[in-house]
């Protein structure tokens, strides 16, 4: 695929959304969920229409085909995140489910009364609430690492709150509000200096750079398929093998057990990785669709994504700063993602969002599932435009004209 990142048609032709009846919308909400390329939609449809059988059950040819495709997607996922052992890739419902699995299973195993769990105020609720609830249940203390003006935690800031009682450090790869990147390799190293485990919420980070889980030496890494242009309802938990093997299953059911002792629970033997953590019928179509999304993303690679998104983000911010004086941008210093978080001065984010929606521009309004991030920003809510590879300069031009209207919302309201 050519890498002319200034060509607005470079990726757009791959996305059926733009040919649909809603294709006239400007979709600036990819941080919530990315649009799906045709190859992903085709892969999901092919499973349902051609070989819609369950996996790892029976010896029939359709079941074999489904199992083959399912296992191939696991191998792709492992390579995609830099894991040499595909058994360390656990499929889940999403990043939220994956993080909850670590907290409820591994966390309950290693956290005791008086211990500490370190997180930050710049986390998504999915990487805050499980740790808050675990700390409350175990009598542990939840500790907040200091953040800089872009919501990042430096290794030095993390070190300032670490103690010998710290058991888990849970931080994001890229913030869904600030859009700025943490140095997860350095943070993992800082956590390990104190004997703590490093858990990374990669839901936003994986869309912009590789997780490189082994190279970065993270203990657990979670992300969702729908953020990388795959289907909804599928996520991944990576964990180091020795940790996943120690974790008790969080769910129980079919295909995750070798032997059931109906008289003695201790006699029941669970399967090896990854099946021991994947009870029941898994989201097979979604796994296969995510495999297609990984193939699509890797056909051009992260360098092209970064350059394309950087070009679009810089163009949006430069025009906002030059032409919209009543718009306050909270994260214009970040260079790591397509997230632009802002407010129209004097206008509630929901009111401003309605102006954009009336002009067919889809952005996010509210606290973006991170009330703690907005506490740092000292505002209750904000607007978020999140750009990805299929967006265009002309869409940003439309956005700027609507932003000017939003600036005049109060004048129109009270005129």
Query: What is the C-alpha to C-alpha distance for residues 137 and 245, in angstroms, rounded to an integer?
Result: 23
Residue 266's pLDDT band, with cuts at 50, 70 and 90, is confident
| Secondary structure element (H or E) that encloses residue 221, with its range | strand 220-224
Q: Which residue has the higher pLDDT, 58 or 339?
A: 339
> Is beta strand 166-172 parallel, antiparallel or unpaired with respect to 197-201?
parallel
279-303 per-position pLDDT tens digit: 999 999 999 999 999 999 999 999 9
CA distance 312 to 392: 7
pLDDT at 57: 72
Q: Which of 122, 381, 109, 140 is nearest to 245 (CA)?
A: 109
Q: Where are any strands of DSSP class E within 325-414?
A: 327-329, 339-344, 361-362, 364-366, 382-386
How is 264-331 classified by DSSP, letter by letter? -GGG-EE--TTGGG--SS--HHHHHHHHHHHHHHHTT-HHHHHHHHHHHHHHHHHHHHHH-TTEEES-
Which helix (H) or strand (E) segment holds residue 353: the answer is: helix 349-358
Q: Spot the catalytic one: 200, 324, 369, 378.
A: 369
- Is residue 87 a contact partner of residue 273, using CB atoms and an 8 Å limit? yes
Contact 182, 211 (CB under 8 A): no
Phi first, then psi: what are they for 224, rounded to 5°?
Answer: -115, 140
Please check whether residue 35 is in contact with residue 27, taking contact to mean a CB–CB distance below 8 angstroms.
yes
Is 39 known to be catalytic?
no
Residue 59: predicted pLDDT: 75
Q: Is the pTM of this model over 0.85?
A: yes
Write the pLDDT tens digit of every residue in 207-233.
Answer: 999 999 999 999 999 999 999 999 999
Which tens digits make up the pLDDT trace of 23-75?
899 999 999 999 999 999 999 999 999 999 999 876 789 999 999 999 999 99
Domains of the chain with CATH codes: 12-30+302-413 (3.90.1150.10), 41-298 (3.40.640.10)
State the pLDDT confidence band at 312, using cuts at 50, 70 and 90: very high
Encode pLDDT of 129-160 as tens digits: 999 999 999 999 999 999 999 999 999 999 99
pLDDT score of 360 more than 80: yes
Tokens of 57: 């059950």
Instruction: Give the pLDDT mean for 68-87.
Output: 98
Report how far residue 290's alpha carbon sits from residue 404's, in angstroms, rounded to the nearest whole number: 39
Structure tokens at 137: 């249940």
**30 with 386: CB under 8 angstroms?**
yes
Q: Which two tokens stand for residue 380?
A: 């209750």
């Amino acid at each position: 695929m050519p890498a002319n990142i200034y060509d607005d048609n470079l990726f757009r032709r791959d996305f059926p959304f733009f040919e649909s009846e809603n294709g006239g919308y400007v979709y600036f909400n990819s941080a919530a969920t990315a649009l799906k390329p045709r190859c992903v939609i085709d892969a999901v449809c092919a499973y349902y229409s051609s070989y819609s059988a369950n996996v790892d059950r029976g010896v029939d040819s359709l079941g074999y085909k489904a199992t083959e495709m399912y296992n191939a997607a696991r191998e792709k996922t492992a390579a995609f995140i830099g894991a040499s052992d595909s058994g360390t890739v656990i499929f889940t419902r999403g990043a939220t489910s994956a993080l909850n699995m670590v907290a409820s299973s591994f966390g309950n195993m290693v956290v005791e009364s008086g211990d500490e769990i370190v997180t930050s105020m710049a986390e998504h609720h999915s990487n805050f609430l499980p740790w808050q609830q675990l700390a409350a249940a175990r009598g542990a203390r939840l500790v907040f690492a200091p953040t800089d003006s872009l919501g990042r935690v430096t290794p030095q800031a993390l070190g300032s709150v670490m103690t010998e009682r710290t058991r888990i450090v849970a931080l994001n790869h890229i913030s869904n509000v600030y859009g700025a990147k943490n140095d997860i390799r350095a943070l993992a190293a800082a956590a390990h200096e104190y004997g703590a485990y490093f858990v990374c919420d990669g839901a936003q980070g994986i869309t912009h750079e590789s997780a490189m889980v082994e190279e970065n030496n993270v203990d657990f890494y979670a992300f969702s398929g729908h953020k990388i242009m795959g289907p909804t309802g599928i996520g991944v938990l990576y964990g180091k093998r020795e940790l996943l093997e120690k974790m008790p299953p969080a769910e129980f059911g079919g295909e995750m057990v070798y032997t059931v002792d109906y008289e003695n629970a201790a006699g029941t033997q669970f399967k090896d990785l990854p099946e021991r953590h994947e009870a029941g019928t898994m989201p097979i179509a979604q796994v296969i669709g995510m495999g297609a999304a990984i193939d699509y993303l890797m056909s051009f690679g992260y360098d092209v994504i970064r350059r394309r998104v950087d070009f679009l983000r810089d163009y949006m911010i430069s025009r906002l700063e030059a032409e919209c004086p009543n718009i306050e941008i909270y994260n214009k210093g970040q260079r790591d993602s397509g997230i632009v978080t802002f407010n129209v001065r004097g206008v509630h984010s929901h009111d401003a969002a309605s102006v954009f929606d009336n002009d067919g521009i889809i952005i996010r309004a509210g606290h973006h599932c991170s009330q703690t991030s907005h506490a740092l920003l000292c505002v209750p809510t904000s607007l978020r435009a999140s750009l990805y590879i299929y967006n265009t300069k002309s869409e940003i031009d439309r956005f700027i004209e609507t932003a000017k209207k939003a600036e005049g919302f109060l004048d129109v309201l009270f005129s």
